[in-house]
Amino acid sequence: MNTGVFSRKKHLSQSLPIVPSRKLKITILTVGSRGDLQPYCALAIGLKRAGHEVTLATHENFELFVRKFDLKFAAIAGNMQEFLQSEQGQRLIAGEKLKKEEGDKLLLEQLESAWLACNGSDVIIYTPLATFGYHIAEKLEVPCFFASVLPLSPTGMFGFLKFSQIAKNPLKKAINYGSYLLVEFLYWQRYRKLLNNFRTDTLKLPPLPFLGRRFRKKTPANLLQIPVLYGFSSHVIPRPRDWAKWLYVTGFWFIDLADDYQPTEELEDYLEQGPPPVCFGFGSMTLPNPENLTDFILSALKKMCQRGIILSGWGEIGRSVGIKNSLRAFAIKEVPHDWLFPQVPAVVHHGGASTTAAVLRAGIPSVTVPFFADQPVWGEKLTRLGVSPQPIPYQKVSEKTLAAAIEVVLGDEVMRCKAQELGQKIRDEDGVTNAVEAFHRHLGLIG
């Protein structure tokens, strides 16, 4: 069954890459949730396909996922699933700040494990939650890249984590640019002592100055102009004109999982029983009472006379006993987005970067229910693109708000057309191949 807008053929990222002049040992440092990991795993697959030896250094609980793509694996301290399901994780999702000692202990462990993982690397690629790769690259005297699915380089076009709001006023542009420098400074002050101790005690490097790395008297050559690989589409977030040429916007990075996925008979039967269901998925978001959100979903579906499929994820949403025999909804732990999303008319999701990219690629409208971090910004961005109604903050989710949003995404033909048009543009891009080519060109491995 396939009622979606694009076929499940091999994506362009699986085309043959340009062969580089030499093979490199590359380590990608990334920490976070499965959604945080997956785009960088896609990048790693692309680099491996180009002939390199790629090690993906991430949390131990993702080892099986990484190794199934025939990538090398190195463990980084921490288990994000256990953390988000813990009391501390619940406080973070609720918007509270964690105690300083809670974050410091984990970061210390990550620094040491990352240092071990990177030994012997020719190139280091580090991600937003693993910026300690900068210090390790300095010690090893190897090239490094920053890779991100969010725009995090200073620009006047939009402020830090405000990429849905484009500025035109000169004063606003100056404020926007300064917001990145301020966040960078505050982050450095928060971890300055810990990171400088790591530099001096473990890496045997001199400490960085009080104001941070931008104010070094002499920056090593390999760190003067750190290239950036951005895994998002310029059709979604336009590339700022004030970015340097070594900041590459390549398109989204996807792993094609649909061709190897074997759905259960129960899932296939449910999809064939009636009209395509609305999909609900909140990824790694965990809740103290997932039953409440499940009840809101079921009530909204009943009110709208719609069917639904719930991806329970880490939060165990929809896993209550009562839903098992319901014709209204079907709950399952997870399903590859590129297999499922083309078969549904709309998705209700948390606004995580990876899920958002998958929804956009499928060319369907969606409803965002953001919890924290960058999720509200993605929700606002989708609204401004005309492919989603206004986000529903998690605290305001109810039967009424969900039903109203579902009515919009299923009934607004203009929104559906915009989603289809944007989806086609994204599918026409090949983010992974573009990123691999930018990587090679920057290192002078191809002409």
Domains of the chain: 12-252+429-442 (3.40.50.2000), 260-427 (3.40.50.2000)
Q: What is the DSSP string of 105-165?
A: HHHHHHHHHHHHHHTT-SEEEE-GGGTTHHHHHHHHT--EEEEESS--S--SSS-TT-TTS
Contact, 320 vs 291, CB < 8 A? yes
Alpha helix stretches (DSSP H) within 20-132: 34-49, 63-67, 80-84, 87-93, 100-118
Q: Output the pTM of the full model.
A: 0.93
Give the C-alpha separation, 180 to 189, whole Å.
14
Concatenate the DSSP letters of all residues of 175-241 into one string.
HHHHHHHHHHHHHHHHHHHHHHHIIIIIS--PPPPTT-GGG-SS--GGGSS--EEE-S-TTTSPPPT
Nearest to 252 by CA among 423, 2, 31: 423
Per-residue pLDDT at 7: 43
Amino acid 100: pLDDT:
66
CA distance 164 to 376: 10
Residue 365 CB neighbours (<10 A): 26
Question: What's the distance, CA 81 to chain centroid?
Answer: 15
Distance CA 95, CA 114 (A): 28
Reported as half-sphere exposure (CB side, CA atoms, 13 A), residue 368 has a value of: 29
Per-residue pLDDT of the chain (447 residues; tens, 9 = 90+): 434 444 444 443 444 455 566 899 999 999 998 889 999 999 999 999 999 999 999 999 999 999 999 999 999 998 776 776 677 766 666 666 666 666 788 899 999 999 999 999 999 999 999 999 999 999 999 999 999 999 999 999 999 999 999 999 999 999 999 999 999 999 999 999 999 999 999 999 999 999 999 999 999 999 999 999 999 999 999 999 999 999 999 999 999 999 899 999 999 999 999 999 999 999 888 887 889 999 999 999 999 999 999 999 888 888 765 565 567 899 999 999 999 999 999 999 999 999 999 999 999 999 999 998 899 999 999 999 999 999 999 999 999 999 999 999 999 999 999 999 999 999 999 999 999 999 999 999 875
Contact 389, 409 (CB under 8 A): yes
pLDDT given for residue 10 in this prediction: 42
Helix or strand or coil: residue 373?
A: coil
7's tokens? 């076929």
Strand, coil or helix: 332: strand
User: Do 349 and 364 touch, CB atoms closer than 8 A?
Assistant: no
Comparing CA positions, the residue from 28, 25, 10, 21 lying closest to residue 435 is 28
CA angle 139, 145, 147 (to 5 degrees): 130
Amino acid sitting at position 131: T
Exposed/middle/buried for 321, CB within 10 Å: 0-12, 13-18, 19+?
exposed
